Amino acid sequence: MTASNTDIRPHWRDYVLSPKGALVFPVRAALVPWDPEKIAEADIHWREVNGEEELPNEPGMGLLLDFGVKTTGFLYFESAGSMDFGIDIQSGPDLRLVLFEDIVKYSSGAGCYRDDKFRAFRFLKMRCTGGSGIKVRTMVEFTGWPGDYEGYFYSSDDQLNRIWYTGAYTIQICTQPHELSGCYNNMLPRMYGDFPRHWRSPHGRYCIWDAPRRDREVWIGDMWPESQGLLHSFHAPEAIKTSLLAVAQRQRENGLIPGSGITLQTFSEYSCWWIVLLDYLYMMTNDREFIHEMKPHVQRAVDWLLNELEDFDGFLRINHRQTWAWTLMRRGAVTGSQAVAVAALEGGARILAFLGDSDRAGRATKGATNLRQLITTKLWNGKDGVFRDCLLPPDGVERVSCDSNSLVPLFGISSEEQTTACLEYLRRNLWTPFGTKTIVPPEPEANNNWAHNHNIWPFVVGLELEARFVRGHRETAMELLRQCWGNMIAHDTSCFWEMVDGETGDFVTHRRISDLQGPSWDTWDSYGHGWSAAPTSLMQSHLLGIRPTAPGFSHFQVKPWLADLDFAEGAVPTPHGPIRARIERGKSGKTHLQLEVPAGTRATVAKSDGSTIDINEGSHQLDS
């Protein structure tokens, strides 16, 4: 043990994208044509916003405001005048998409007016109707998660820092009050549309959406990277509990848990993800009270899963359009879904054992063992060294997918030989400069499957990234991280996108939802999608190397890896307080570690020579 002269201090605040208060203000403005097709970005003459701005009422022109980042909430207007007037609005996340129209009927009253429509946008274009020379001050009441950062990451690499905080902010604007859920409410049966308005969680007001602009509902599959990132940045387990409870309380009679919180869609794999997420939450927080609260839901979900396996020759049956890649024809024994089912059975067994249900725990363990064997034998293509996308594809063409060859190694199902082979197959055959393709060969073009045939989806690339870190393929993990997420931040984005154009690496704007044309309908691509934020938690887990080995971090491991960095530091929130660490490369080539172990916890530190050191609470300085 040697002393390090470097203190642990937060140097990271300049990267934070979160608003500094409850209100978000525009940072620049410009006068532009009202017709979005006539706006050329190069022709926009921006100027700083300094309070009130005059609304144009001349034909064909609008005032364009840029809030600097995508934001969410309710518009506020302040005007010194006492008259009533109308404001035409177009908004959007990207300058090419400032086209979602609305009208605000301003009633000045005391000079401040709050519109009651929830919005998510970066750019806002306005013009006045019913008056001239009217000046207004425009702002947004921010509705995303209101807490400050309890965890952080900071390193010698500007790109990695920007990626971490962009991911954290993406998750923040996807964590919203549950009563605002459901942008499709006007299309839903009343029982669905009424649910967010009337249901309240005992665990808090906030839940985790897939995105703040389009679906605006809990999607269980999306919550894997979202939950990890939320706990590593803002440490908001209450939002995870509310999200899990929202779907658990609407569990089907057969035990299946819906995949989505408002539309209640049937995704068998997502019912498995619910169990996986509950197991993860327990490991991270040791929230025993919530586990007991979820006991009947876990029992019924595990029974449902075991029955499904029994009815389909040991596999979990997946119906058409019932995976995250919903435009593809894949169905039946989809390999990635089988891997999630294994993780659900093993996680369910741990939870059930803790709850004292040893019989179910034993049956779940046995089911997981059997399914593991099926995956590594029947779904393994030994000739090509890769896992098949699914068994017996509908058109008879065997394909390889990113998610199937990421989830199997991620959950420790594949052997080391299989893991190395399938990850290398992805690298050789599916990697692009912008991330990993979804599936090869592409399916025959039909309807909307172009979205998954040809675009990059950071959600599944995040699963691959995590699998590479977890299984020790760290160098290629860093390469993939810089390709996919480095590409997005190079586009001056404040959020991570739902999908990336596979040919250009840009945000996808050229297609709209089929048969739902018009200014009130969204684009295909979501500009801020929480499922794309995997790197935020992975940098703390695999560069700082901090991961729990007992529920609630009562014991944890520290296995730092600096990659090509000069230093990295950060904090991981725990129920006992934050674990703080800084690692730096010394002049002699040795790695120095400074570690703060919270009271009531113990750590095992892995050294570069393969040995380990057990450490109790307090501040420690070590050479690696």
pLDDT tens string 191-240: 777 888 889 999 999 999 999 988 899 999 999 999 999 999 999 999 99
- Is 565 contained in some domain? yes
Residue 17 tokens, joined: 């994208």
Q: Specify the number of domains making up the chain.
A: 3
* DSSP-assigned beta bridge partners for residue 78: 112, 137
Overall average pLDDT of the 472-479 stretch: 98
Distance (Å) of CA 430 to CA 420, 452, 464: 15, 13, 12
Question: Per-residue pLDDT for 622 more than 60?
Answer: yes
Q: Which residues contact 340 (CB under 8 A, 6 or more apart)?
A: 269, 272, 273, 276, 407, 411
Q: Are residues 135 and 177 in the same domain?
A: no
Which of 499, 514, 533 is at the close of a domain? 533
Instruction: Check whether residue 205 and residue 327 sit in a common domain.
Output: yes
Cα–Cα distances (Å) from 43 to 356, 462, 490, 564, in that order, read 67, 37, 21, 41
- For residues 260 and 355, state if they share a domain: yes
Residue-number span of the structural domain to which 546 is assigned: 542-623
Q: 488, 508, 533 — which closes off a domain?
A: 533
Mean pLDDT of the chain: 92
pLDDT at residue 4 greater than cutoff 50:
no
In a domain, 147, yes or no: no
Residue pair 568/540 in contact (Cβ under 8 Å)? The answer is no
Domain for residue 152, yes or no? no
Same domain, yes or no: 380 and 452? yes
Residue 615's pLDDT band (boundaries 50, 70, 90)? very high
As given in the structure block, the two tokens for residue 165 are 């905080």
- 301 closest CA partner among 393, 367, 228: 367
CB 231 within 8 A of CB 269: no
More confident residue, 358 or 110: 358
Q: Which of 63-77, 174-188, 583-597 has the lowest mean pLDDT?
A: 174-188
Residues 289 and 343 in one domain: yes
**Tokens (6 digits) for 475:** 């160098």
Please report, as a single letter, which amino acid is at residue 578.
P
129-184 pLDDT tens trace = 877 788 899 999 999 999 999 999 999 999 999 999 999 999 999 999 999 998 77
* Residue 11 forms part of a structural domain: no
Same domain? For 509 and 563 the reply is no
Of 359, 319, 345, 239, nearest to 287 (Cα)?
Answer: 239
SS3 state of residue 439: strand
Q: How far apart are CA 593 and CA 6, in angstroms?
A: 10
Q: Both 428 and 560 in a single domain?
A: no
Tell me, what CATH number does 68's domain have? 2.60.120.260
Q: Which residues pair with 177 in a beta bridge?
A: 206
What confidence tens digit (pLDDT) does each residue in 530-542 have?
999 999 999 999 9
151 in a structural domain:
no
Who has greater pLDDT, 199 or 96?
199
Here the CATH number for the domain that contains residue 175 is 1.50.10.10
Residue type, 561: W
Are 416 and 546 within one domain? no
Residues 560 and 528 grouped into a single domain: no
Does residue 397 lie in a domain region?
yes
Rounded mean pLDDT, 557-569: 96
Domain annotation covers residue 1: no
Element spanning 454, H or E: helix 450-454
Q: Which tens digit of pLDDT belongs to each residue from 294-325?
A: 999 999 999 999 999 999 999 999 998 899 99
pLDDT tens per residue, range 375-429 = 999 999 999 999 999 999 999 999 999 999 999 999 999 999 999 999 999 999 9
Pairing of strands 555-558, 602-606: parallel
Q: Are 429 and 441 in contact (CB under 8 A)?
A: no
| Judgement on whether residues 383 and 431 belong to the same structural domain of the protein | yes
Give the residue from 533, 561, 578 where a domain finishes.
Answer: 533
pLDDT at 35: 84
| pLDDT value of residue 104 | 85
For the chain, report the end-to-end CA distance as a whole number of angstroms.
9
What was the pLDDT predicted at 513?
43
User: Does a structural domain hold residue 246?
Assistant: yes
Question: How does pLDDT run across 31-62, given as a tens digit for each residue?
Answer: 999 887 777 888 899 999 988 999 998 888 99
Q: Which of 90, 112, 108, 87 is nearest to 36 (CA)?
A: 90
Identify the H or E element spanning 92: strand 85-92
Q: Are 218 and 134 in a shared domain? A: no
Same structural domain, 45 and 167: no
